[in-house]
A and B are shown apart, each in its own frame.
Chain A
Amino acid sequence: MVKSKMIRSIAWKNVWRNPKRSLIVIAAVMLGTTAGVFTSGLMKGWVDQRIRAAIYTEVSHLRLNNPDFLNNEEIGNTIPEIGRLTDYLDKSPAVKAYSRHVKIMAMASTSRGNTALMLNGIDLKKEKQVSDLYKDMVDGAGSYFEDYGSFPIVISDKTAETLRVKSYVLNSDALDTLKKAGMPENTSSKLLSLDNLRFNNKTQIEKRLKKILTAKEISKYGAEIVKVSEHYRLRSKIVFTFTDKNGELLNQSFRVCGVFKSGNTMFDQINAFVLQKDLSGVAGLGADEFHEITLLLNDGVDIEGFQKDIRRAFPHISALTWKELAPDAGMMAEYMAFYYLIIMGFILFALAFGIVNTMQMAILERTKELGMLMAIGMNRKRVFNMIMLETIFLTMVGAVAGMLLGWLVVLITGHTGINFSSVAEGFESMGWAAKVYPDITASFFFGVTLMVVLTGILSSLFPARRALNMNPVDALRSDN
């Protein structure tokens, strides 16, 4: 104990023997670790948001369907034994909430555009217990079935653009907003030429802005101008054409009562939400005919275990977990920790070269001293321990500082979020949020600390081997 204390003390003092050199290595390790922590935090933020969106907006924990509906989204492929199934779910302590959906594929048309959409008929109260989509409503673009008239529909921002329910108008209110946000007079005056002009899509208004504003103005105010110009034609009519239960083609119009933006373009461009009673009514479906049940389980419930229970109890019903329904998010959840460690591993591997080089120089400069230590009776184990501890201290000082700095950066950006709005479309088309809130867990730091210690040990092997191979007589004769 006493001996190791002395070795620790010498090793620590040796780190500061050449403070400038040590500080350079420490700074490199610190910056590398900060970058690693921040990158991992950013990835975790993204993955967490993706998983949250997958579970609470897109697919829930578990989705139940008639297996035939998965192959053919026919209106007749409703869930069999729905009464017994809902009884089972009502009684199961594992189930937090569930929501029954009627789903009908339909062609949506307005006077300006058309697209195919999946109409999701929902029970408002139950749906809010399962899905957080009601939190993703676009500001100033209506509401999630509040204050609606007959046959309301909530569509996505993407669909609104496709069906031209959304347009871009730079009116006097929008200009006032921009001025209040700090837009200089000479820039806002250029926008007067666009007063009350209507643009059907984002590309059109952006093209026009490029003609009247400088590149610098576009880069500074472009996104904000487009944002304040967004205009939704609420209560406008969308006509849906679909087949009813009897195989008859019918048209039914719904009026836009709200617009959502989930952050996943693929989900947004295919889904629209209407009230189940409206949809069932026009499609001729009975009160117990549903195509899908999405359900959330209580915290700590084994989802795969509950899936097996359902499959056992209802062999004719398809039960798929969120990991199966959103395999990208599922895969991320499985391998997330592995990805973080890979990132940190690469960074530490690169840093190890710098550490080894520094330690090699330190050993070379202390050849005579090491020779003396071996001559007076310091055994190989102690020499090795001293060099290893020295390397670990050097690495740990930088790593701890880097982890603290990285944690601080993650803490701040986790609060403010990082906005990748300039590349939002690209991210959202892959289902990744454009605004990310980095996050990091204590277990990640534990893993990084282990990796840093391991890097220190591995980096010390080469210089320590060099020291151990020294002959004390030759070392004492050296000039260093």
Chain B
Amino acid sequence: MNVIEIKDLVKIYDNTAVQVTAVDHVDLTIEKGEFTAIVGPSGSGKTTLLNMIGGLDQPTSGHIEVEGVDITRMKSRQLIDFRLNNIGFVFQSYNLIPVLTAGENVSFILEMQGVLQEEIEKRTREILVQVGLGDRIDSRPSQLSGGQQQRVAVARAMASKPKFIIADEPTANLDSKATAKLLDMMEELNRKENITFLFSTHDQRVMNKAHRIIVLEDGCVVKDEKMTQQ
């Protein structure tokens, strides 16, 4: 089953002196449960592509369908609701709310979805246990290591039961030990919960874990390879 279908996607930045084609006629299909890495050198269009798939940026032309719904036709307000209920985000620099505890950072998104309080508490605890932070539910981000913060970010992304999770360079700020732990955890979630992950990376260790690698160069897909499961 296709979760994401990208058709002839183009993004041109023309607000600078020089017109830049960040994404150039990309066609892609992401299936349910994939663990896909988008790789490429800096400026190849990875983040721009992920932003458009995540409904954060509008393409110049082309279409993105999420489970059959064309998100490129949505208005800004519809997109915000769509993101809340369908897409999980993990950012390079964790981006947790520093004044909230790990538990509150996770439950916050459930509250925005209007989930009942009882369910929020139950699901928050379960997810944090899943990412190995069941004992840090009341810790503030400043009391957690970088790796732990990123795991809270993954828990937050998972909490809303999204159709897929977008992770933009999730390991860029982590040391090798934390990177390995995070990747193992994400892979396990993908395997056990069948969560679709789509992430951009430069990191070879991440690429080694990916089940599919899409290589971008100058905004074009130059390679799309399914990896053999180790």
Select which of B57, B81, B99 is within 8 A of A377 by beta carbon.
Answer: B81
Interface residues of A in 1-50 (CB under 8 A from B): 2-3, 5-6, 9-10, 13-14, 16-17
Residue B80 is within 8 A (CB to CB) of chain A in the complex:
yes
Select which of B51, B100, B156 is within 8 A of A473 by beta carbon.
Answer: B51
Question: Do A2 and B111 have beta carbons less than 8 Å apart?
Answer: yes
Select which of B80, B89, B99, B109 is within 8 A of A379 by beta carbon.
Answer: B80
Interface residues of B in 83-142 (CB under 8 A from A): 83-85, 89, 91, 93, 95, 97-100, 104, 108-109, 111-112, 114, 117
Select which of A2, A5, A375, A379 is within 8 A of B54 by beta carbon.
Answer: A375
Question: Do B98 and A17 have beta carbons less than 8 Å apart?
Answer: yes
Residue B77 is within 8 A (CB to CB) of chain A in the complex:
yes
**Which of A201-209, A317-325, A366-374 makes up part of the contact surface?**
A366-374
Residue of B nearest to A4 (CB): B111
Residue of A nearest to B76 (CB): A380
Distance between A92 CB and nearest chain B CB, rounded to angstroms? 65
Interface size, chain A (Cβ < 8 Å): 25
Residue of B nearest to A6 (CB): B111
CB neighbours of B98 from chain A (8 A): 17, 369
Interface residues of A in 371-409 (CB under 8 A from B): 372-380, 382
Question: Do B100 and A374 have beta carbons less than 8 Å apart?
Answer: no
Interface residues of A in 425-480 (CB under 8 A from B): 472-473, 476
CB neighbours of A374 from chain B (8 A): 80
Question: Do B56 and A377 have beta carbons less than 8 Å apart?
Answer: no
Question: Do A368 and B99 have beta carbons less than 8 Å apart?
Answer: no
Question: Do B112 and A378 have beta carbons less than 8 Å apart?
Answer: yes
Supposing A10-B100, A17-B98, A368-B93 touch, asked if A375 and B111 sit within 8 A by C-beta, the answer is: no
Distance between A378 CB and nearest chain B CB, rounded to angstroms? 6
Question: Do A6 and B80 have beta carbons less than 8 Å apart?
Answer: no
Distance between B13 CB and nearest chain A CB, rounded to angstroms? 11
CB neighbours of A3 from chain B (8 A): 111-112, 114
A476 to B48, CA, bound (A): 12
CB neighbours of B97 from chain A (8 A): 10, 369, 373
Question: Do A376 and B83 have beta carbons less than 8 Å apart?
Answer: yes
Interface residues of B in 135-180 (CB under 8 A from A): 156, 160
Distance between A371 CB and nearest chain B CB, rounded to angstroms? 8
CB neighbours of A473 from chain B (8 A): 51, 56-57
Supposing A13-B100, A372-B95 touch, asked if A377 and B85 sit within 8 A by C-beta, the answer is: yes
Distance between B52 CB and nearest chain A CB, rounded to angstroms? 10
A472 to B56, CA, bound (A): 7
Question: Do B111 and A377 have beta carbons less than 8 Å apart?
Answer: no
CB neighbours of A368 from chain B (8 A): 93, 95
A476 to B95, CA, bound (A): 9
Supposing A14-B99, A377-B80 touch, asked if A2 and B91 sit within 8 A by C-beta, the answer is: no
Residue of A nearest to B166 (CB): A375
Select which of B81, B93, B99 is within 8 A of A13 by beta carbon.
Answer: B99
A473 to B95, CA, bound (A): 13
Question: Do A377 and B95 have beta carbons less than 8 Å apart?
Answer: no
Select which of A2, A14, A375 is within 8 A of B89 by beta carbon.
Answer: A375
A390 to B5, CA, bound (A): 41
A476 to B160, CA, bound (A): 21
A173 to B111, CA, bound (A): 81
Contact with B along A341-377 (1 / 0, CB 8 A): 0000000000000000000000000001100111111
Q: Which of B57, B84, B95, B117 has the most CB of A within 10 A?
A: B95
Question: Do B111 and A376 have beta carbons less than 8 Å apart?
Answer: no
Contact with A along B58-92 (1 / 0, CB 8 A): 00000000000000000001001101110001010
Question: Do B108 and A377 have beta carbons less than 8 Å apart?
Answer: no
Contact with B along A134-153 (1 / 0, CB 8 A): 00000000000000000000
Question: Do B99 and A17 have beta carbons less than 8 Å apart?
Answer: yes
A380 to B80, CA, bound (A): 9
Residue of B nearest to A371 (CB): B95
Supposing A2-B114, A3-B114, A473-B56 touch, asked if A376 and B84 sit within 8 A by C-beta, the answer is: yes
Distance between B47 CB and nearest chain A CB, rounded to angstroms? 9
Residues on A lying within 8 angstroms of B by beta carbon are: 2-3, 5-6, 9-10, 13-14, 16-17, 368-369, 372-380, 382, 472-473, 476
Top 6 closest pairs, chain A to chain B, by CB: A377-B84, A13-B99, A372-B95, A6-B111, A377-B83, A379-B80
Residues on B lying within 8 angstroms of A by beta carbon are: 51, 54, 56-57, 77, 80-81, 83-85, 89, 91, 93, 95, 97-100, 104, 108-109, 111-112, 114, 117, 156, 160
Can you sample 23 A-B contacts with CB below 8 Å? A2-B111, A2-B114, A3-B111, A5-B111, A10-B108, A16-B99, A368-B95, A369-B95, A369-B97, A372-B89, A372-B95, A376-B84, A376-B89, A376-B109, A377-B85, A377-B160, A378-B84, A378-B112, A379-B80, A379-B81, A473-B51, A473-B57, A476-B56
Q: What 15 new A-B contacts, CB under 8 Å, besides A10-B100, A368-B93?
A: A2-B111, A2-B117, A3-B111, A6-B108, A13-B99, A14-B99, A17-B99, A368-B95, A373-B97, A377-B84, A377-B160, A378-B80, A378-B84, A380-B77, A476-B95
